[in-house]
Structure 1
Amino acid sequence: MAIDDKTRTELEAAAFRRLVDHLKSRTDVQNIDMMNLAGFCRNCLSNWLKEAADAQGVALSKDESREAVYGMPYETWKSKYQGTATPEQLETMKKVHPHGHGH
């Protein structure tokens, strides 16, 4: 791509916002399914956002970064949309992420 860094950053930011908006609209898609299929989920995205803020010296708490990704406080999202994981999902999760994933 023959574009300057500022334009690239703007395009990447636009793509990130679109991804976040897409995930907000797909509340049927569970984090555990995302983890089991792709190895990342909404919590990973919010952690990456927080790590980027930390690297830039920007004050962003874990709760704030999660709210930015979920569009609401994480506890609210969990109570509204997070289903109970099946034993099969949990077993797959153990294989995909043997060291746990902080959900």
Structure 2
Amino acid sequence: MDTNSGDPLDALDDAVAAAAFRRLVRHLRHRHDAQNIELMGLAGFCRNCLADWIRDAGYPGDKGAARELIHGMPMEEWKAKYQSPATDEQIARMDASIAKNRAD
């Protein structure tokens, strides 16, 4: 982490940041109605991105373990219970949103 960036976020205490992250993950676990495809289309990230980010930050588990940690259950179980098929419109919105991520 670059602590010389001048971004006040870098001065945020790690315990506070961790508590906020856990609250976000628990909120997403509760809000199954917020589909990953919709999160991607609106914000350019989803539960699976959070799983990738914790691995990038040093989580020792593999992709499946990271997704299970974020989803609160194995990914295949979560998909079977909560994931709806994506529409062409949702996929197009996701693609446009992901393109904005690369522009940063």
| TM-score scaled by length of structure 2 | 0.78
Could you list the per-position Cα deviations for residues 54-88 of structure 1 after superposition, in whole angstroms to 9, with x for gaps in the alignment? xxxx5311111111100000111011100011121
2:102 equivalent to 1:97: no
What amino acid is aligned across from residue 89 of structure 2 in structure 1? E
Structure 2 SS opposite 1:97: helix
Cα RMSD of the aligned pairs, angstroms, is: 1.7
Structure 1 SS opposite 2:57: helix
| TM-score scaled by length of structure 1 | 0.79
The whole-number CA distance in structure 1 between the counterparts of 2:33 and 2:60 is 31
Structure 2 unaligned residues grouped into runs of 5+: 1-10, 100-104
Q: How many residues end up aligned between the 2 structures? A: 89
TM alignment of 1:39-50, pairs within 5 A: 39-50=44-55
TM alignment of 1:1-103, pairs within 5 A: 8-53=13-58, 59-97=60-98
